[in-house]
Amino acid sequence: MTRVALVGNAGIGTQDHQSSMYGPAFERHPGFQVVDNVDEAEVLSIALPLAERGKAVADAVRAGKHVLADKPLAATLAEAEEIERLAAEHGVVVVPAHHQRLAPALRSAIGAVRAGRVGLPWNVQCDFIVAGGDPAPTGELVNFGLYPVDVVRALLGLEVRRVHATGSPDLVTLLLDHDHGVTSTIVCGRVPELRDVPPGGLAVHRYRISGSHGVLAVDARKPALQVRTTGTNGPVWTGPGTVDALLDVLAAGIAAGRAAIGPHDAVQAQRVIEAAQRSMATGHPVETKE
Amino acid sequence: MDRIGIVLVGAGFIADAHSGAIDADPRAELIGIVDAAPGRAAAFARKQGGIRHAPDLDTALAWPGVDAVILCTPNDTHAPIGLAVAAAGKHLLVEKPLATTVADAQRLASAFQAAGKVLVAAHTHRFYDYGRAVKQTIDAGLIGRPRLVRLAILGGWIWPDWSAWVGDPQRSGGHALHNGVHLLDLATWWLDGQPASVFARGRKQTAAELRIYDYLEMVVTYADGATAVCEMSRAHRPGSIAQRELLVTGTEGIVEQGWDGESSLVFGESGTSTLPAAGGNGFAAQLGAWLDTIGGAPSLMPVGDAVRAVTLGVAVEESIATGRPVAVMA
């Protein structure tokens, strides 16, 4: 059993993903044991306010701890890059909470696209729209824009070279250019609370991957049952949890010395988010200068 | 009541949809057909029970009982033929786009205003059931103030061969003008928005040698901060799966229709295909609205909106060419 200590109960705005997500997932995971003493822990689960998060992760890495970090990994690209460098230097695993790419439908989709099921992909369209819950004071681009960016990177295996963004920080449209003329578009943000969608839940989460030989349409809110009663009408999730799958990634990464999701993914996502912010400010496309 | 006598100009495939609409409306009468290819005009006339036919517009405009024209010719001919129709004092329903340049679109608008005749561009999606239902949902206030439209109309290759005029950007104006204007108009109408800028990307997916973009992604940013993301494609494979998807988010709710929101799905030995539901006749509704306007009712497709659609379509082509957003003062 790998010992893990829970560090922090905060995030962006009112978020407490430690209590709502990571802590319970560690408690039920067969490979981890939650301990109170940080010094006894081999892994730190860090969910601190964003302004403090990057430094705390960097300090943990310097102390030789593996890290599960709330998203985004750090407040700036520079901080994320420093964490990536430190993790390599100290030989520890840092897993940022990019757990949406582990949704069952997306895991299948990533495998299918990378195996050529639609031929050569040339475009991805994504909607990642949350309904209700507490708006992020940073804007939703900073809060969860990295999720769909990370999924698109995983689907295509292509980095983002140019970003054009329009809309507002709480409902933004990202137009991304990748290598080989491949394009993607992400609509990401928060809409008002909707009936039968839990506050803060995903009202729309879908991807369309167009390729030279076919199209893959993915509703990432599935697998689910549709349950209708006299008072409700909504989906009931039937798949494994994405945070549980994230801890599987962490456990496997610790065992292997390298995790399937790492600080480089956070760096690349943050690069896109910051380019989008510059694009919103200038009204023009921005090179990511990767 | 006298029926409105109509001449169809251009006997291509879309003429059948318009003649079907005329047949279904007791207020309208198809007087004759004009096509530069005499044989094609004659064949169409025979199919319609022996109506008049001619290879030139001047002859047709002189036929007795002609009040109006429906124009279904290649896009670059809309302006010169439309101006001739205005000069003859006839009403006009012109296939979209109104024209291939903003200047020509404005010239047409001015000519019909001066003539006191009704000019309508065939932005037929406004008259399809889904287009009207979304508009009614928004106007009823059910989703509050709309902030985002996502609209995708995707399908496979539909044009016959390399000789198709649609594939010639000089004749069609490019795909943004030919088909893109449908979505640009519909999204702007739904949002009741003032377009501020356009950013677009295009792709020649079916063949590198294409001269038009068979996949278009057109993003309009509006003065109030709303956004429209419009995809128009003849590039998606397989072509048997026609997809139309829409999502509108507002300050108080969302309205959406997925690719299966209207169509059924056929799983057959010969493959999989969508089967659109039978429904209202958008061309008939469009014709009816045009006839209403000729009778004095307000237009459901104002000329200014058709000019705006051309402005947006031209901006799309410019944005694709430059890779930059284009400011519009539509």
DSSP result, B137-176: HHHTTTT-SEEEEEEEEE------STT-GGG-HHHH--HI
Query: Does the beta-carbon distance from A173 to B229 stay under 8 Å?
Result: yes
Instruction: Give the mean pLDDT of chain A.
Output: 97
Residue B279, pLDDT score:
80
**A44 to chain B, minimum CA–CA distance in Å?**
39
Q: Which residues of A touch B199 (CB under 8 A)?
A: 164, 166, 175, 285
The 10s digit of each residue's pLDDT in A14-63 is 999 999 999 999 999 999 999 999 999 999 999 999 999 999 999 999 99
Residue B330, pLDDT score:
52
pTM: 0.95
Q: Which residues pair with B181 in a beta bridge?
A: none
* CA B187/CA B152 separation, integer angstroms: 11
Phi, psi of A75 (to 5 degrees): -80, -20
When CB atoms are compared, the residue of A192, A214, A285 closest to B251 is A192
- In B, minimum Cα distance to A186 occurs at B229
Phi, psi of A225 (to 5 degrees): -90, 155
Q: What is the DSSP letter of B127?
A: G
Residue B157, pLDDT score:
84
User: How deeply is B63 buried, as exposed, middle or buried, from its count of CB atoms within 10 A (0-12, 13-18, 19+)?
Assistant: middle
Reading the block at residue B176, the tokens are 């943004």
Residue A232, pLDDT score:
87
Residue B309, pLDDT score:
98
User: For residues B264 and B201, which has the higher predicted lDDT (pLDDT)?
Assistant: B201
**A138 to chain B, minimum CA–CA distance in Å?**
18
Please state whether the peptide bond connecting residue A169 to the residue before it is cis, i.e. omega within 30 degrees of 0: no
The 10s digit of each residue's pLDDT in B254-273 is 999 998 898 888 999 988 88
The 10s digit of each residue's pLDDT in A76-116 is 999 999 999 999 999 999 999 999 999 999 999 999 999 99
Q: Is the pLDDT of residue B203 over 60?
A: yes
- If you search the block for the tokens 């990295």, which residue do you land on? A146
Q: Which residues of B touch A209 (CB under 8 A)?
A: none
* CA A47/CA A71 separation, integer angstroms: 8
Q: Is the pLDDT of residue B16 over 60?
A: yes
Residue B278, pLDDT score:
87
Element (H, E) at A190: strand A183-191
- In A, minimum Cα distance to B207 occurs at A212
Query: Does the beta-carbon distance from A194 to B229 stay under 8 Å?
Result: no
**B144 to chain A, minimum CA–CA distance in Å?**
10
| pLDDT bracket for residue A156 (50, 70, 90) | very high
Percent of chain B at pLDDT > 90 equals 88
Percent of chain A at pLDDT > 70 equals 100
Q: Which residues of B touch A122 (CB under 8 A)?
A: 203, 205
Q: Is the pLDDT of residue B312 over 60?
A: yes
| pLDDT bracket for residue B158 (50, 70, 90) | confident
* CA A141/CA A153 separation, integer angstroms: 17
Residue A126, pLDDT score:
98
Query: Does the beta-carbon distance from A215 to B236 stay under 8 Å?
Result: yes
- If you search the block for the tokens 């199919």, which residue do you land on? B47
**What are the residues whose beta carbons fall under 8 Å from the beta carbon of B229, sequence distance 6 or more?**
A173, A185, A187, B148, B149, B150, B151, B217, B218, B219
Residue A197, pLDDT score:
93
Reading the block at residue A256, the tokens are 């292997």
Residue B1, pLDDT score:
55
* CA A230/CA A226 separation, integer angstroms: 13
Query: Does the beta-carbon distance from A183 to B201 stay under 8 Å?
Result: yes
